[in-house]
Amino acid sequence: MEAARPAPRTGLPAVDVKELTDGLNTKVRGLAIREWGLDGSGVGIIESDRQRLTQAVIQLAQKRRAAHEPIATGSGSDPRSPTARPVFA
């Protein structure tokens, strides 16, 4: 069952964090032949611009490390905090 989506506060669309993280991981794996990993996947719904987040993560993955070093993506949040925001890395 899908989590309840909050009423929009920012005017941005609701985005499922796990779905976004899994999609980002799939996209970055197509960038280059190297060792890729997934360091975790947050849960919940955020209000965000999916395309801008995707673009930013892909740019970081392209620039962040030398080709021979492994790289991992992931997201997470602290469910104990009422103002928690998912973090993508």
Q: Which residue has the tokens 């997470």?
A: 76
H helices then E strands: how many in the chain?
A: 2, 6
* Domain boundaries along the sequence of the chain: 12-65
DSSP 21-34: HHHHHHHHHTT-SS
Locus of tokens 């021979």: 68
pLDDT in tens, the chain (89 residues): 445 455 456 788 888 989 999 999 999 888 888 888 888 888 888 888 999 999 998 888 887 666 677 888 888 876 666 555 555 55
User: For the whole model, what pTM was predicted?
Assistant: 0.72
The structure tokens 């930013």 sit at 56
